[in-house]
Amino acid sequence: MKKYIITLTDEERAQLHHMLSGGKAAARKLTHARILLKADRNSEALEWTDAAISAALEVTPKTVANVRQAFVEEGLEVALSGHSTRNHRGRKIDGECEAHLIAMLCQPAPTGHARWTLRVLADGLVKLEYIDSVSHETVRQSLLGNELKPWQEEEWCIPPEQNGEFVCHMEDILDIYTQPEDLKYPKVCIDELSKQLVGEKRIPMPLEPGKPRRCDYEYERKGTCNIYMIFAPFRGQRWVKVTDHRGYQDWAYLMRDLVDVHFPEAECITVVVDNLNVHVGGALYETFEPAEAKRSLAKLDLHYTPKHGSWLNMAEIELRVLSGQCLDRRIGEVRIVEREVKAWVAERDAAHATVDWRFTTDDARIKLKRLYPVIQSNAQPPASPAKRAGAKLGATEAAARVRQRVQKRTQAKHASPAP
């Protein structure tokens, strides 16, 4: 005699038949429903044994017995779905403690620590008596829910907010990028990159099946070199010049090459550069005779990106590509840098690679609205110097008339006869 006998009601039987006809439940749940229907004592069909049910549904006899027991002891829902495996323990860090955790994280890290870590945060919560005890893993899960990662840090070029000087230079550069290209008036972007020369002390071991290329951790410093990038984005061309250092003379010779070598037929060249101290016309006068310097400057129209706004210079984007595709390795000699860069430039020029710049002034006024100064609508325009002088003179005359009336009243009071 079976210990757990299943007796389904009409409502339960209808629910199981509806579930099986729909077929949208989990496979495990549907199998348990079939077990219950076959084991039902009130079924019109012959009563099935556990062995017969097991053979028909391809489950073990133990599964049939467990479904019987769950139905009798805990009801239909538990027999179909079983117990939830989810952890029902309460949260170790409640809402109040989580608020203290976020507030702590927004403060500088304690003395002796470069940044907040999970263990330092856990110790801080206990030390400040926000919680009795907590593990670093619990802190990690709490931060994960708030998308906070204190161990990460990113470097950004943060522009000043509500700065008229910034937006003035920004819109000037953006307007240049929207102008059509003219062969007589080309537009170029210029930037520079410092490359550290690093040589190998030991010959690296080449790549092998199952083993990456291996190089020794020791290296030899061999100074630095400077890489100038002249990028004509509307033509898909670039010119790279490698120099030993970066100074007034290097910049002056680069500008003269731009005028005489790269664009000799141009009437005026629009140049977008950043605010480096050597990017000035005076560098040409420091290097060449006045007539030669003036001749080169007459064909140059320099436009400067705003401070903390070097991302507006397309040459910076091209230099980033150069660094990632060509220079991201140990190179110990300037001649090797020149050779590798020359090959990279030839490949990029052959592919007519360029920058598809789509950010416009209209976009900036929407997406970077916080950078624009806020204009007070009820503010009065400043008075002209003539009006200010007139107002000052009028105030002086009014004060003099008041003093005269006071003096007359005082004299009349002293001159009146005594009663």
Q: Which of 180-184, 243-247, 371-375, 376-380 has the lowest mean pLDDT?
A: 376-380
- Strand-pairing partners, residue 303, are 272
Q: Which amino acid is at 41?
A: R
Q: What is the pLDDT of residue 2?
A: 58
Q: What is the pLDDT of residue 387?
A: 58
Q: What is the pLDDT of residue 84?
A: 61
Give the pLDDT band (50/70/90) at residue 378.
Answer: low
* Mean pLDDT in residue range 70-87: 79
* Mean pLDDT in residue range 336-352: 95
Is it the case that residue 389 has pLDDT exceeding 60?
Answer: no
HSE-up of residue 242 (Cα within 13 Å, Cβ side): 18
Output the six-digit token pair for 2. 């079976």
Return the biggest CA–CA distance within the chain: 139
Q: What is the pLDDT of residue 27?
A: 87
* Mean pLDDT in residue range 125-146: 88
Is it the case that residue 323 has pLDDT exceeding 70?
Answer: yes
pLDDT tens-digit profile of 290-321? Answer: 999 999 999 999 999 999 898 999 999 999 99
pLDDT tens-digit profile of 205-225? Answer: 988 898 888 898 888 999 999
Is it the case that residue 1 has pLDDT exceeding 50?
Answer: no
Q: What is the pLDDT of residue 217?
A: 87
Q: Where are the domains of the chain?
A: 10-81, 95-145, 164-202+217-350
Instruction: Answer for the pair 190, 230: CB distance below 8 angstroms, yes or no.
Output: yes
What CATH number does domain 164-202+217-350 carry, 3.90.1300.10, 3.90.25.10, 2.30.110.10, 3.30.420.10?
3.30.420.10
Q: Which of 134-148, 189-203, 366-380 has the lowest mean pLDDT?
A: 366-380
Give the pLDDT band (50/70/90) at residue 385.
Answer: low
Give the Cα separation of 178 and 233 in Å (integer).
Answer: 12
Is it the case that residue 243 has pLDDT exceeding 60?
Answer: yes
Q: What own/partner pairs with CB < 8 Å and gap ≥ 24 does 11-14 have?
A: 12/76, 13/37, 13/40, 13/42
Is it the case that residue 339 has pLDDT exceeding 70?
Answer: yes
CA 358 to chain centre: 18
Better-scored residue on pLDDT, 355 or 404: 355
